[in-house]
């Protein structure tokens, strides 16, 4: 996992990238970037400058994982432990 911190940070939220999952889910941009714009972007804007990278992980990545991991397991891209 990696982060792309925009020049406008903290006014703009960081982008979270998981290159290992690139192309395996519809809610991901090229290069493995997680789609955070629709739901997390407005939340970030309302809470600037109190939010940081931990908030991006907890409030941006966690819901994405909750929605996408079961689908990835079902399609056989990842295996449960």
Catalytic residues: 35
Q: Which two tokens stand for residue 24?
A: 């395996």
Q: What distance in Å separates the CA atoms of residue 60 and residue 52, rounded to the nearest whole number?
A: 11
Best CA proximity match to 45, nearest among 78, 12, 3, 2: 12
């Amino acid at each position: 996992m990696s982060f792309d911190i925009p020049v406008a940070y903290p006014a703009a939220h960081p982008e979270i990238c998981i290159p290992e999952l690139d192309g395996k889910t519809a809610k991901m941009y090229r290069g493995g970037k997680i789609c955070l714009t629709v739901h997390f972007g407005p939340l970030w804007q309302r809470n600037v400058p109190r939010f940081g990278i931990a908030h991006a992980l907890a409030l941006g990545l966690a819901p994405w994982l909750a929605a996408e991991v079961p689908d990835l397991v079902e399609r056989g891209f990842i295996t449960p432990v």
